[in-house]
A and B are shown apart, each in its own frame.
Chain A
């Protein structure tokens, strides 16, 4: 059974600092990895995806993937209060548009 594990938090980070969110997955066949952000009462929205080992940067966000350790992380630099949300890690094992297996999310709080 596919499992995606995240620390539920809350993770409290001061404004301007780096927020580090972590995720582990059980299925070694997983090929693509996603980070979604979900504000309270809203739907998930995609922040980043990654499918190769290493780092991928997009603005203030960096996704890191280590397939040998079955570990994915998301770094948020220069954290802003607007980054306060629940961050969902998701994986799929297919090469394309399979349904995603989500972790339960980490609640991030950026303290002004």
Chain B
């Protein structure tokens, strides 16, 4: 079975442009998570969904960030307008509820560079 799929793998854009990151979770998984990783702040949870519904978006840094999950197999994270400080690796992860310690499977990440 394919793992979590993210696209694009690399994105270079200029400040002020809109950026859209995409994620396809593992089939059958009902939780989807967006994380951001930087050297300074480490790996941070931005938002997560359960059955396509956003559950906790307290990690979304600003109104410039938005995330959607229109169906069980697709999610987007949008940054508009982008700023240089948004440069990071953005990971999508998915899991299936089934116990106290559900394993989150991470996608390969999107490396975003905002110039």
**Are A99 and B106 touching (Cβ within 8 A)?**
no
Q: Is A54 an interface residue (CB 8 A)?
A: no
B-side contacts of A44, CB under 8 Å: 43, 91, 106
Q: Is B59 an interface residue (CB 8 A)?
A: yes
Q: Which residue on B lies nearest to A34, using beta carbons?
A: B101
**Residues A46 and B108 in contact in the complex (CB < 8 Å), given A97-B31, A97-B97, A100-B45:** no
* CA distance in complex: A31, B44 (Å): 19
Residues 85-99 of B, flagged 1 when their CB comes within 8 A of A and 0 if not, give 000000100011101
Number of A-B contacts (CB under 8 A): 57
**Interface of chain B residues 59 through 115 with chain A (CB within 8 A):** 59, 91, 95-97, 99-109
**Are B56 and A99 touching (Cβ within 8 A)?**
yes
**Are A102 and B44 touching (Cβ within 8 A)?**
yes
Q: Which residue on A lies nearest to B47, using beta carbons?
A: A99
Q: How far is the CB of A105 from chain B (nearest CB, A)?
A: 7
**Are A95 and B100 touching (Cβ within 8 A)?**
yes
Q: Is A61 an interface residue (CB 8 A)?
A: no
**Are A88 and B43 touching (Cβ within 8 A)?**
yes
Residues 83-112 of A, flagged 1 when their CB comes within 8 A of B and 0 if not, give 000001000000111111111110000000
Interface residues of B (CB under 8 A from A): 31, 33, 35, 41-45, 48, 50, 56, 59, 91, 95-97, 99-109
